[in-house]
Amino acid sequence: MPPTIALDVIRYRPEQDAEPAFQTYEVPFRDDWVVLDALNYIKDRLDGSLSFRWSCRMGVCGSCGMMVNGKPKLTCAAFLSDYLPGPVRVEPLNYFPIMRDLIVDITDFMRKLTKVKPWIIRDQVWPLEEGEYRQTPEQLDTYKQFSQCINCMLCYAACPIVGLEPEFVGPAAIALAQRYNLDSRDEAAGERLKILSDHAGIWGCTFVGECTQVCPKHVDPAGAIQQFKLTAALDALKSFLVPWGTR
């Protein structure tokens, strides 16, 4: 095994840099190290000014997502051994404004996420004394896969539509909307359908499928969007075929 491996890391300090640029660091190569370990080595031993996000190191928080050799990855799950002999190119996630070094601005993502109302909405809420809203295992299974999203935004960095259409709501937000649409306790599927039945919503997706390919939790956002499209198409057909007075 090589004693070291090179990391080409994007640096951008808005107070002094006109444009982002690469800086190369040599870090020790260890077979059990991931890219995040190498970035922490740089920050701790070589350059304390390097800025990036991370938290759990366990593929749960989703905060350490970056572009690694051009692919969206959780850096806590990207082993250096997979990129031998190097160098390893580390950049901020595609299609997000860079705030500093490897940190991107997620304000627009949070706006889009809130837009789809990813929470349980009911017309009437039971009093607490009436107990819980129970579900069968089968009811849970209908949406469980889509509930695994950790908001890492890798799917946004992989989606060419996000790059071309800044107003596109995006795969993670639509998948989470579908997660609640399928929840037996929720009663707002029609409301979300109205919100997302336009070009900036489900119809903006051209089904490239890259979002599903890069998802570290196997959520299958592309599949969720296609389910949503089918529901919208059936709803439109129903409104066309069934006279309003008899609905």
| Whether residues 207 and 221 fall in one domain | yes
Verify that 118 and 233 share a domain, yes or no.
Answer: yes
- What tokens were used for 246? 């008899």
Q: What is the pLDDT of residues 13-46, one digit of tens each?
A: 999 999 999 999 999 999 999 999 999 999 999 9
| 235: pLDDT strictly greater than 90 | no
Residue 239 has pLDDT above 90, yes or no: no
pLDDT at 243: 61
Angle, CA 97 vertex, CA 198 and CA 26 arms, to 5°:
135
- Provide the domain limits for residue 40: 4-104
User: In the sheet that 65-68 helps form, which strands lie side by side, from edge to edge?
Assistant: 21-28, 4-11, 88-91, 65-68, 71-74
Instruction: Answer yes or no: do 147 and 229 share one domain.
Output: yes
Same structural domain, 122 and 151 = yes
pLDDT in tens, 99-140: 999 999 999 999 999 999 999 999 999 898 999 999 999 999
Question: Where is the domain boundary, 75, 104, 133?
Answer: 104
CATH number of the domain at 23, please: 3.10.20.30
Please give the model's pTM, rounded to 2 decimal places. 0.92
Q: What is the pLDDT of residues 52-70, one digit of tens each?
A: 999 999 999 999 999 999 9
Can you tell me the distance from the alpha carbon of 51 to that of 223, in angstroms, rounded to the nearest whole number?
Answer: 35
Task: Check whether residue 122 and residue 240 sit in a common domain.
Answer: yes
Same domain, 120 and 73: no
Query: What span, in angstroms and rounded, lies between the C-alpha atoms of 64 and 75?
Result: 6
Q: Do 162 and 212 share a domain, yes or no?
A: yes
Q: Are 170 and 112 in contact (CB under 8 A)?
A: yes
Same domain, residue pair 133 and 228: yes
Q: Are 34 and 80 in contact (CB under 8 A)?
A: yes
pLDDT digits (tens, 9 = 90+) for 191-212: 999 999 999 999 999 999 999 9
The amino acid that residue 228 corresponds to is: F
| Residue 188 φ/ψ region, left for φ over 0, alpha for ψ in the -120 to 50 degree band, beta for the rest | alpha
Tokens at 69, concatenated = 């050799």
Cα three-residue angle 228-229-235, rounded to 5 degrees: 90
Question: If you average pLDDT over every residue of the chain, what do you get?
Answer: 95
d(CA 81, CA 193): 45
Residue 247 has pLDDT above 60, yes or no: no
Helix runs in 77-187, H state only: 107-115, 137-141, 154-158, 160-164, 171-181
Band (2; pLDDT cuts 50, 70, 90):
confident
Answer with the one of 83, 104, 125 that is the final residue of a domain: 104
Choosing from 60, 83, 104, the residue where a domain stops is 104
Number of domains, the chain: 2
